[in-house]
């Protein structure tokens, strides 16, 4: 049995990695340079599907399908054990006026997913607040969204209840401890932490942390801004997406509208230009929002990676160092499958899916 695992990064990927390892590892330590789950895990929308799933590689599709099927039971398990409901909210999703609708339908037929073209009148009947002028719609039933801040709270509570898990917030990693070629722990501002295995789940910061080891991981921060409205609980019965922008209903009437895609380094400052753009998109999708004032506006940093395919597995030539990072726009979507696959690999179990597409070795620069 592995005695101690240190996980660097306390977002949903790091927390769920710890959750999946805890039963089979003597001690798990999760370190985060800030508060747990306050970066992209908090900032995202939480749609349990890639925005345009047919545009991704089979590697992303495989993780997404497994996660989508697993999310309801994960939500129920966390709620039952912690009393904090992650609110896995199944609403379905309408895509409107897609340029690549034929490709989307072909993908759905090939993958056996419940996505189909519908008469646009059906979309307007299902979502009466939808803006005018849309001509075509496709719909996928069963698509849910998860209330990501509550998912973070629920995972944190579940881990705090486990006697062999330690959560260390505001614990910045300054380097890795080495014995020859083996990584045997981490150096922190509070001193070293020894470990049999070290797992990097630090999102957009993962590449920076690896660079002192002579490793170039092509993961970079990609800024995304969102706005939030508060409406009646029944205002928006389904998620809708058009022209790259989406609206997501929460159960209590909050409506998330997002998001921008900006290469601005580590700057997380919300901008007036993005606010204006997002409000315009919100009103085009849902004209009644013209009378509503946003109750929130924020930015987060996605861990951008080539083709959005995460890195999951051990780093060759650096025994004891593992990656579970680089999920780009789909960290919340892919988290259950990514973290289960990761645990399978570290613990030597049969993997849930073929791990080859995510192996760090061939893809590290």
Is pLDDT at 1 greater than 90 in this prediction? no
**What is the pLDDT of the chain when averaged over all its residues?**
96
Q: Say what the pLDDT of residue 249 is.
A: 97
Tell me the mean pLDDT in the region 297-315: 96
Do both 188 and 299 map to the same domain? no
Do both 131 and 193 map to the same domain? no
Is pLDDT at 240 greater than 70 in this prediction? yes
How open is the CA angle 346-25-342, to the nearest 5 degrees? 25
- Boundary of a domain, candidates 304, 322, 347: 304
- CA distance linking residue 346 with residue 218, whole number of Å: 23
- CA distance linking residue 150 with residue 105, whole number of Å: 33
Cα-atom radius of gyration of the chain, to the nearest Å?
A: 20
The answer to whether residue 58 is domain-embedded is no
Nearest CA to 361 among 321, 334, 328?
A: 321
Do both 41 and 14 map to the same domain? yes
Do both 226 and 290 map to the same domain? yes
- Domain range for 282: 93-141+220-304
The answer to whether residue 252 is domain-embedded is yes
Do both 244 and 292 map to the same domain? yes
Is pLDDT at 269 greater than 90 in this prediction? yes
How far CA 246 is from CA of 127, 143, 227, 229, 241, in Å, comes to 14, 14, 11, 13, 4
Do both 316 and 297 map to the same domain? no
CATH number at residue 257: 3.30.9.10
Report which secondary-structure segment, H or E, holds 178: strand 173-179
- pLDDT tens figures, 327-353: 999 999 999 999 999 999 999 999 999
Q: Say what the pLDDT of residue 361 is.
A: 86
* Residue 363 binned pLDDT confidence (cut-offs 50, 70, 90): confident
Classify residue 128 by its DSSP letter.
T
- Boundary of a domain, candidates 304, 321, 340: 304
Task: Write the DSSP string, 247-295.
Answer: EEE-TTSEEEEE---B--TT-----HHHHHHHHHHHHHH-GGGGG---S
Do both 214 and 122 map to the same domain? no
How far CA 57 is from CA of 107, 307, 341, in Å, comes to 11, 7, 18
Do both 234 and 298 map to the same domain? yes
The answer to whether residue 68 is domain-embedded is no
Tell me the mean pLDDT in the region 133-150: 96
What residues form DSSP beta bridges with 223?
262, 301
* Residue 265 binned pLDDT confidence (cut-offs 50, 70, 90): very high
Domain count, the chain: 2
Is pLDDT at 139 greater than 80 in this prediction? yes
* Residue 298 binned pLDDT confidence (cut-offs 50, 70, 90): very high
Q: What percent of the chain has pLDDT over 90?
A: 97
Do both 356 and 229 map to the same domain? no
Do both 225 and 268 map to the same domain? yes
What is this structure's pTM? Answer: 0.96
Do both 108 and 197 map to the same domain? no
Burial of 137 (C-beta count, 10 Å sphere; 0-12/13-18/19+): buried
H helices within the chain, ranges in order?
Answer: 12-21, 40-43, 58-82, 101-111, 120-126, 148-160, 206-210, 272-285, 331-347
The answer to whether residue 33 is domain-embedded is yes
Nearest CA to 228 among 154, 287, 299, 284?
A: 299
* Residue 181 binned pLDDT confidence (cut-offs 50, 70, 90): confident
The answer to whether residue 86 is domain-embedded is no
The answer to whether residue 203 is domain-embedded is yes
- Boundary of a domain, candidates 258, 282, 304: 304
- pLDDT tens figures, 66-86: 999 999 999 999 999 999 999
The answer to whether residue 74 is domain-embedded is no
Q: Say what the pLDDT of residue 75 is.
A: 96
How far CA 276 is from CA of 44, 197, 218, 229, 245, in Å, comes to 19, 46, 32, 14, 13
* Residue 2 binned pLDDT confidence (cut-offs 50, 70, 90): confident
Q: What percent of the chain has pLDDT over 70?
A: 99
Q: Say what the pLDDT of residue 362 is.
A: 74
* Ramachandran class of 117: left when φ > 0, alpha when ψ lies in -120 to 50, beta otherwise: beta
The answer to whether residue 179 is domain-embedded is yes
* Residue 365 binned pLDDT confidence (cut-offs 50, 70, 90): low
CATH number at residue 180: 3.50.50.60
Burial of 233 (C-beta count, 10 Å sphere; 0-12/13-18/19+): exposed
Do both 298 and 312 map to the same domain? no
- CA distance linking residue 140 with residue 94, whole number of Å: 7
**Phi then psi for 257, rounded to 5 degrees?**
-125, 130
- pLDDT tens figures, 192-218: 999 999 999 999 999 999 999 999 999
């Amino acid at each position: 049995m592995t005695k101690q695992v240190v996980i660097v990064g306390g977002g949903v990927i790091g927390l769920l990695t710890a959750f999946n390892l805890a039963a089979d590892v003597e001690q798990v330590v999760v370190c985060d340079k800030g508060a747990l789950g306050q970066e992209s895990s908090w900032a995202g929308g939480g749609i349990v599907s890639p925005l345009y799933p047919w545009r991704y590689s089979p590697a992303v599709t495989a993780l997404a399908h497994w996660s989508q099927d697993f999310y309801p039971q994960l939500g129920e398990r966390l709620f039952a054990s912690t009393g904090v409901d992650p609110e896995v909210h199944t609403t379905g999703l309408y895509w409107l006026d897609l340029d690549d609708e034929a490709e989307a339908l072909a993908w759905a037929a090939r993958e056996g997913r419940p996505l189909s073209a519908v008469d646009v009148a059906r979309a307007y009947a299902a979502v009466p607040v939808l803006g005018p002028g849309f001509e075509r719609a496709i719909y996928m039933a069963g698509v849910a969204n998860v209330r990501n801040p509550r998912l973070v709270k629920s995972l944190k509570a579940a881990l705090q209840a486990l006697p062999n898990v330690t959560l260390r917030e505001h614990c910045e990693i300054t380097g890795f401890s080495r014995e020859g070629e083996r990584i045997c722990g981490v150096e922190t501002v509070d001193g070293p932490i020894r470990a049999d295995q070290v797992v990097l789940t630090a999102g957009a910061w993962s590449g920076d942390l690896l660079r002192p080891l002579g490793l170039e991981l092509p993961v970079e921060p990609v800024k995304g801004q969102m706005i939030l409205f508060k409406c009646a609980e029944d205002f928006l019965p389904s998620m809708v997406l058009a022209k790259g922008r989406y609206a997501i209903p929460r159960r209590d009437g909050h409506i998330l509208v997002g998001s921008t895609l900006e290469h601005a380094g580590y700057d997380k400052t919300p901008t007036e230009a993005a606010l204006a753009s997002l409000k315009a998109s919100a009103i085009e999708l849902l004209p009644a929002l013209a009378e509503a004032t946003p109750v929130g506006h924020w930015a987060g940093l996605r861990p951008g990676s080539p083709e959005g395919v995460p890195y999951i597995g051990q780093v060759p030539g650096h025994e004891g160092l593992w990656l579970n990072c680089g999920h780009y726009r789909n960290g919340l979507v892919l988290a259950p499958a990514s973290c289960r696959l990761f645990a399978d690999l570290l613990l030597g179990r049969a993997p849930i899916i073929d791990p080859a597409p995510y192996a760090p070795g061939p893809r590290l620069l």
